[in-house]
Chains A and B, each alone.
Chain A
Amino acid sequence: MGLKFSQPPSSPFKAPGFLSSFRRASSRQPSFNPPLQSLHPSIFSTLRRPPAVKPGDFIPLFSDCVSAASSRTQEYLGFQDPEDKFHPSPETLTQVPSAPRTFQKHVSLNMADAFSCTAMTPEQRVLLGADWVWALLEKPTKTPKVQIAVQVLHLPRRKEAEPTEAPSSDSRSESVQMARLEGGHRSVQERLVDFCSSVGKDCYALFLFFGRKNDRENVYGVLSNNFEAAVGKCSKIDRTLIENFFKGSRYLHTCSFIVIVLIKCLKKSFTGDVMNNASAFNVK
């Protein structure tokens, strides 16, 4: 797309082939068209644009970000380890979606707006419940117009989406423990919802499920700026509640739904909740 992306000073992904070496022989191209979409040609298909990016045209770019991240993650999760010796840490897995260059922090784009993807520190992951935060920035001020705080809920070994490194005496794990104390009795899902609602309606919580049982290669997600509304209906926002959004296909959207939300938010007509119900989507 003729965009320039700055290289991070250091990254676990810098090593050539870090991800590609895990790629399956039949590696798929990043696909943004779930089966639903191929059955019903929809407005989502219009979001796939030719590579030329017009100034201000962030939609294809954002689509590509989502698509690249999910396909990378899918490759990663679909990797078959013949000797079962490969045990990525939860931290590594949460870094995967921010690996593509398209995601690098504060990418400067040839357009009025810019995206950023900020990976949270281990302490922030506990305090705020977010693994990373996408933002669409206003150019002169660099303040976020819309944010999506993402929590990854796939990791079989990861309870409550909190870092589960073995306790050690270093200050990092100590501070992570302190952060847990700060969080009190709230579930990590509640922390994300609380964080987003403290910021405002332009901050969306996105729960992403990678590698669900019996369906390891798909990515599911639930996105809303109004999860707190669920509190009235059930006592607690937790993983079970979030997973319940997947029951019933009427909430199933394509991943492009995020893009639709962004468009809505950017339009001046945006006046509060885009969704009264959370929306689930599935990337195949």
Chain B
Amino acid sequence: MAATQDMKGKGEGGDQNFDYMFKLLIIGNSSVGKTSFLFRYADDAFTSAFVSTVGIDFKVKTVYKNDKRIKLQIWDTAGQERYRTITTAYYRGAMGFILMYDITNEESFGAVQDWSTQIKTYSWDNAQVVLAGNKCDMDEERVVSVDSGRLLAEQLGFEFFETSAKDNINVKQTFERLVDLICDKMSESLDADPAVTTGAPTAKLTDSAPPLQQPGCNC
């Protein structure tokens, strides 16, 4: 299971002091606001200048959930087509995706289905996805209604938020929800087959379980 490989508990590089590491990816058309969204979440900053991402980049952020330190390695992918080879190479091993469109850009919404197919093609089956309709601060220029966003999310089986990196709306919530979904999914997998995660007990992050010595996943 791809998750266990990324949940090795104690990482090799950098700050070793964490319980879990989740690999997350932000995907979607160019200019929908992926970099801005990550910038807002990790650094609480926003700039209106547009510098299209070259290839791929990432940031690290640590969050806490029931006394567990979860390190999020958040990959910011370039939306431009020319980088598709390099970005899809990072889908493997990702436990969660934020699939983003821009509520003022019909084309970016139309592309959501294709991005979803990319996830199915390149990532592992249990990867969790949140659909984010970004730039909700620009309501006057809205071309995608909240309802059509929600409906599409339902059809694809994704959670849904409308967000704004600019006004800091639902940014933290989107990440937190994704982390919750990943934790739930992992607990499910553990309940179904504890052996898949190197024999770790099925304690859940949602319980206030004591810290475990085993390197396996137990959320």
Give A residues with C-beta under 8 Å from B. 9, 105-106, 116, 118, 120-121, 123-124, 127-128, 130, 133, 142-144, 149, 169, 171, 173-175, 177-181, 195, 198-200, 203
Contact = CB atoms under 8 A, between A and B. Distances in A.
B1 interface: no
19 contacts: A105-B49, A106-B49, A124-B56, A127-B55, A127-B56, A127-B57, A128-B55, A143-B80, A171-B62, A174-B15, A175-B59, A175-B60, A177-B14, A178-B14, A178-B73, A198-B89, A199-B85, A199-B86, A203-B82
B210 interface: no
B58 A118 contact: no
B58 A179 contact: yes
A130 B54 contact: yes
B55 A174 contact: no
B122 interface: no
A105 B30 CA distance: 17
Nearest to B73: A178
Given A118-B52, A177-B14, A181-B12, 9 more contacts: A106-B51, A127-B56, A128-B56, A130-B54, A143-B82, A174-B15, A178-B60, A178-B73, A200-B82
A195 to B, nearest CB: 6
B52 A174 contact: no
| Across the A-B interface, the 10 shortest Cβ-Cβ residue pairs | A174-B14, A177-B13, A198-B85, A177-B14, A175-B60, A198-B86, A181-B13, A174-B15, A178-B13, A133-B54
B58 to A, nearest CB: 6
Contacts of A105: 49, 51
Given A174-B14, A199-B85, A123 B57 contact: yes
Contacts of B47: 9
B50 A106 contact: yes
Size bracket, chain B contacts: 20 to 34
Interface string B60-74: 111000000000010
Contacts of A120: 54
Given A127-B56, A175-B59, A180 B85 contact: no
A173 to B, nearest CB: 7
B60 A171 contact: yes
Given A174-B15, A198-B86, A200-B82, A123 B54 contact: no
Contacts of B52: 116, 118, 142
Given A9-B47, A198-B86, A124 B55 contact: yes
Name the residue among A130, A195, A199, A200 with the largest chain B CB count within 10 angstroms: A199
Contacts of A173: 14
A178 B62 CA distance: 14
A124 B54 contact: yes
Contacts of A143: 30, 80-82
A106 B51 CA distance: 7
Contact of B54 (A118, A171, A178, A181): A118
Contacts of A180: 13
A123 B14 contact: no
Nearest to A127: B56
Contacts of B82: 143-144, 199-200, 203
Given A143-B80, A169-B15, A195-B86, A123 B51 contact: no
A127 B77 CA distance: 13
Nearest to A119: B51
A108 to B, nearest CB: 12
A133 B54 CA distance: 8
A164 to B, nearest CB: 15
Contacts of A195: 55, 86
Nearest to B21: A178
Nearest to B52: A142
A24 B81 CA distance: 45
B45 to A, nearest CB: 11
B37 to A, nearest CB: 16
A197 to B, nearest CB: 9
Interface string B112-128: 00000000000000000
A118 B83 CA distance: 15
Contacts of A199: 55, 82-83, 85-86
